[in-house]
C-alpha cells in the first residue's frame, strides 16, 4: 500500500457519515455484549473489567468502519475504466425489464442504460398491462415493447424471446446501476463461460442502518445457498437458458426457481453493485417485510406457486 492509498483509506474512515454510523453500531452492539459478558459486574458486586468494557465498544466500531471502507473501495474498483467501444457483435447484450406500472422508476434505469450504447444492442420492455405512462416512457427511449399477462416469469420469457442478442441482462425496473457498470458487464461477457450466469451485489437505496443489516443477510444467503433474487440482476446467455428450459413461467418466485434450475456451479457473483428501491421496506417496516419475504419463500418450497402469492406480494 503506497502513501496515496493510505491517505484515501483514512479519508474514507472519516467522511460520508462513516463515524456516525460506526458509533451507532458500536453503541448498540457494545451495550448488548457488555450486558452479556459483564452482567454480573454491572448488576452485582463484582468489579467491572474496564479494559473489556472499552474494547467491547471499540471492536464493533472498527468492524463497522472496516465494512464501510471496504464498500467504498469496492465502488472504486467497480468504476475502473474499460472501453466498451471494443464490444463486438457477439459481446453486445439485450437488457430485459419486466414492468407493471413502473413510470416512477423506469426513467432512472433507462438513463443509466443510456450511458452504454456501444454495449447494449436493445432494451426490451416486457409489460404486464401498465395503466400509467410506462409504455410511453419506454417507447420514447426506443425500447422494444412486448405485451402480455402480468407475472414476472411469463414477462421475462416473452422479453428474452424478443432479444436480438445471445447475452441478456435481466433487471427490475426499480434498479439503479453505478457509474462504470458497463465495464463489469463487458468483462463478464468477454471472459466468462456461456454456461454460467452472473448476479450483482444488492444495495438498498436507503441510508437506514437496517438496510445494511438486510444487505448482509442477502450476502450470507448467496454465499451459503447461491440463491440470488431478481432485484440483484442476472446476466445470462441464452444457450444456458435453453439448456435449463428457460425462465420458469411463474407469477412470482421465478427468480428462486431459476436459481434452483441453474444450481450452485452455474451461478457466480460479479463485482457490480445493484441498487434497488427501498420504498416498500420503508412503508411496511424493514424487518416485517423481510419476514414476509421469508414466509413467501417457505410457502414456495412447500409447493405454493399460485397467483395468490403474487397478489400478496404486490399489496
* C-beta separation of 143 from 125 below 8 A: yes
10 Å CB burial of residue 186 (0-12, 13-18, 19+) is buried
Q: Round to whole Å and give the CA distance between 168 and 32.
A: 47
pLDDT for 31 = 86
Q: Round to whole Å and give the CA distance between 226 and 287.
A: 22
The β-bridge relationship of strands 234-237 and 167-170 is antiparallel
Asked if the 84-313 domain carries CATH number 3.30.70.1450, the reply is no
Quickly list H helices, the chain: 3-13, 18-37, 39-43, 50-78, 106-113, 134-140, 152-161, 181-191, 209-225, 238-244, 254-262, 279-284, 286-301, 307-313
pLDDT for 51 = 87
DSSP state of 157: H
Helix, strand or coil, per DSSP, at residue 248:
coil
**What cell numbers appear for 60 in the block?**
464493533
What's the mean per-residue pLDDT of the chain?
88
Is residue 233 over pLDDT 90? yes
Rg of the chain taking only CA atoms, in angstroms: 22
CB-CB neighbours of 312 under 10 Å: 14
Q: Round to whole Å and give the CA distance between 71 and 14.
A: 14
pLDDT tens string 271-284:
999 999 999 999 99
The ranges assigned to domains in the chain are 3-78, 84-313
Is residue 261 over pLDDT 60? yes
pLDDT tens string 80-106:
444 444 555 678 999 999 999 999 999
Higher-scoring residue by pLDDT: 79, 169 = 169
pLDDT tens string 15-70:
878 888 888 888 888 788 878 887 777 677 778 888 888 888 898 888 878 777 77
Q: Using 50, 70 and 90 to split pLDDT, how confident is the model at 315?
A: very low
* C-beta separation of 68 from 38 below 8 A: no
Is residue 228 over pLDDT 60? yes
* C-beta separation of 127 from 135 below 8 A: yes
The β-bridge relationship of strands 120-127 and 175-176 is unpaired
The string over 215-254, giving b where at least 16 C-beta atoms fall within 10 Å of a residue's C-beta and e elsewhere, is: beebeeebeeebbbbbbbbbbbbbebbeebebbbbbbbbb
Q: What are phi and psi of 285, to 5 degrees?
A: 100, 130
Q: What is the pTM of this model?
A: 0.73
Is residue 307 over pLDDT 60? no
Amino acid at each position: 500500500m503506497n502513501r496515496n492509498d493510505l491517505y484515501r483509506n483514512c479519508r474514507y474512515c472519516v467522511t460520508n457519515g462513516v463515524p456516525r454510523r460506526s458509533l451507532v453500531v458500536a453503541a448498540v452492539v457494545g451495550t448488548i455484549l457488555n450486558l452479556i459478558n459483564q452482567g454480573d459486574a454491572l448488576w452485582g458486586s463484582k468489579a467491572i473489567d474496564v479494559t473489556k468494557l472499552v474494547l467491547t465498544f471499540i471492536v464493533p466500531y472498527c468492524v463497522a468502519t472496516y465494512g464501510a471502507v471496504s464498500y467504498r473501495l469496492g465502488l472504486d474498483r467497480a468504476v475502473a475504466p474499460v472501453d466498451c467501444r471494443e464490444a463486438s457483435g457477439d459481446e453486445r447484450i439485450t437488457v430485459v425489464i419486466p414492468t407493471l406500472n413502473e413510470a416512477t422508476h423506469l426513467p432512472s434505469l433507462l438513463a443509466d442504460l443510456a450511458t452504454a450504447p456501444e454495449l447494449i444492442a436493445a432494451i426490451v420492455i416486457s409489460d404486464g398491462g401498465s395503466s400509467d405512462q410506462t409504455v410511453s416512457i419506454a417507447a420514447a427511449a426506443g425500447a422494444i415493447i412486448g405485451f402480455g399477462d402480468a407475472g414476472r416469469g411469463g414477462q421475462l420469457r416473452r422479453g428474452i424471446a424478443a432479444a436480438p442478442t445471445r447475452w441478456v441482462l435481466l433487471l427490475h425496473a426499480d434498479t439503479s446501476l453505478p457509474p462504470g457498470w458497463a465495464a463489469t458487464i463487458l468483462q463478464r461477457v468477454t471472459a466468462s463461460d456461456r454456461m454460467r450466469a452472473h448476479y450483482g451485489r444488492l444495495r438498498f437505496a436507503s441510508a437506514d442502518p437496517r438496510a445494511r443489516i438486510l444487505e448482509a443477510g442477502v450476502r450470507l444467503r448467496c454465499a451459503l445457498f447461491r440463491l440470488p433474487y431478481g432485484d440483484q440482476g442476472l446476466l445470462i446467455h441464452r444457450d444456458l437458458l435453453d439448456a435449463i428450459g428457460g425462465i420458469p413461467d411463474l407469477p412470482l418466485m421465478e427468480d428462486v426457481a431459476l436459481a434452483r434450475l441453474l444450481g450452485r456451479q452455474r451461478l457466480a457473483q460479479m463485482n457490480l453493485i445493484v441498487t434497488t428501491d427501498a420504498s416498500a421496506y420503508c412503508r411496511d417496516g424493514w424487518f416485517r417485510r423481510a419476514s414476509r419475504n421469508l414466509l413467501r419463500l417457505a410457502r414456495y418450497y412447500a409447493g405454493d406457486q399460485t397467483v395468490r402469492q403474487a397478489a400478496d406480494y404486490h399489496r
